[in-house]
Amino acid sequence: MRFHVDGRLVDAADATLPVADRGVTVGDAVTEPVRVADGRPVAWAAHADRLRDACAALEFGVTPDAADLRARVDETVAANDHDDALVRVTVTRGRGGGASTLPDAARLRPPTDPDPTVVVTLEPLTVERDPIRLQTVRARAIRPAAVPVAPATHNRLDAVRAQAELRRAAPPDDDPADEALVLTDDGHVVGGTASDPLFVAGDALRLPAPGEWPARTATRRLVRDLAAAEGLPVAEGAYTPADVRAADEVFVAEPTAGVRPVDRIDGVAVDDGPVTRLLAHLYDARFVDGDA
């Protein structure tokens, strides 16, 4: 396996970042997972935009060029001879800090002349379409007032805590739920840890209103736009886990399968259905088999 690290292809075993890189020392980095199908990154423009927007929101000072990022992805895919894979594109702010009379504050302060590091890793991927299980967790997502693009950063301790909670909650003879439902402080669904839940109720496709909370994935908007283009009513609102459990159909939007059905939420059986199947088909036709 070969990865792309700071402009060079290297063997995966030799792929390292300096311990002084800010992505290592303080989690000062953003990352985006991208599915590769038949050697081509799926929905590349949406993923590149999300990554570049995250760099801008965190004031990296340098926004990576989308064409350059794509070239690094293509080189990584070609070097590994895997037509179907999951790549992760990571941009760190690089090394260095600012000036301060407090040494640790100087380490934290971003440099005035950042030199970002770009890393592309790859793992073979077999896309799974089996329904998954969701479970509501107590862990809360990082508030956007603190980190405006938290789902795209290296600091994913909120998601780690949510997944750890799923593991603790699983019976001794059972596997944990596949994905968490993460809530706001007032009990409304924000999203998952690595996916965005959507559901069908009252003849409309319903999505948790993002408000100040960013989407968990770039795929959410793609699926929403496909539904709107098909003439399906689309509504965004403040929904509770009870709203999702009572839905006619439930699925998640995520980067590997695009649309993946859900069959249980908090132990309650839920259904997929014609809208889920339609959107899965449209996503594949537009982004996986098409040229987008």
**What confidence tens digit (pLDDT) does each residue in 182-204 have?**
999 899 999 999 999 999 999 89
Q: Is the sign of the CA dihedral 141, 144, 146, 150 positive or negative?
A: positive
Is the pLDDT reported for residue 19 higher than 70? yes
- 2-124 architecture in CATH? 2-Layer Sandwich (3.30)
> pLDDT at position 228, please?
96
CB contact burial 145-181 (16+ within 10 A = b; e otherwise): eebbbbbbbbbbebbebbbebbeeeeeeeeebbbbbb
- pLDDT at position 272 over 90: no
Task: Tell me how far CA of residue 272 lies from CA of 109, 141, 236, 280, in angstroms.
Answer: 48, 27, 20, 11
Per-chain mean pLDDT for the chain: 93
Strands (E), the chain: 2-5, 8-11, 29-37, 40-41, 85-92, 117-124, 132-140, 179-183, 189-191, 196-201, 204-208, 234-237, 249-254, 258-265, 268-269
Mean pLDDT of 242-251: 96
Give the confidence band of 120 by pLDDT, cuts at 50, 70, 90: very high
Mean pLDDT on 51-70: 93
* Confidence (pLDDT) at 292: 63
Q: What is the mean pLDDT of residues 68-93?
A: 95
Residue 198: predicted pLDDT: 97
Give the Cα separation of 98 and 107 in Å (integer). Answer: 7
Confidence of residue 122 (pLDDT cuts 50, 70, 90): very high
pLDDT of residue 261: 97
Contact predicate 29/154, CB 8 Å = yes
- For the whole model, what pTM was predicted? 0.92
Higher pLDDT pick, 67 / 210? 67
Q: Does domain 132-288 have CATH number 3.20.10.10?
A: yes
Q: What is the pLDDT of residue 239?
A: 96
Measured between alpha carbons, how far is 19 from 198 in angstroms, rounded to an integer? 40
**pLDDT, tens digit (0-9, with 9 covering 90-100), for 23-45:** 998 999 999 999 999 999 999 99
Average pLDDT over residues 233-245: 96
Average pLDDT of the segment spanning 254-269: 96
Confidence label for 103 from pLDDT (cuts 50, 70 and 90): confident
CB 108 within 8 A of CB 26: yes
| pLDDT over 80 at 88, yes or no | yes
- Which residue reads 């999203």 in tokens? 191
Report residue 35 as tokens.
């599915």
- Say if CB 217 and CB 194 are below 8 A apart: yes
| Predicted confidence (pLDDT) at residue 99 exceeds the cutoff of 80 | no
Q: Where in the chain is the domain with CATH 3.30.470.10?
A: 2-124
Residue 189: strand pairing partners: 183
The CATH 3.20.10.10 portion of the chain extends over: 132-288
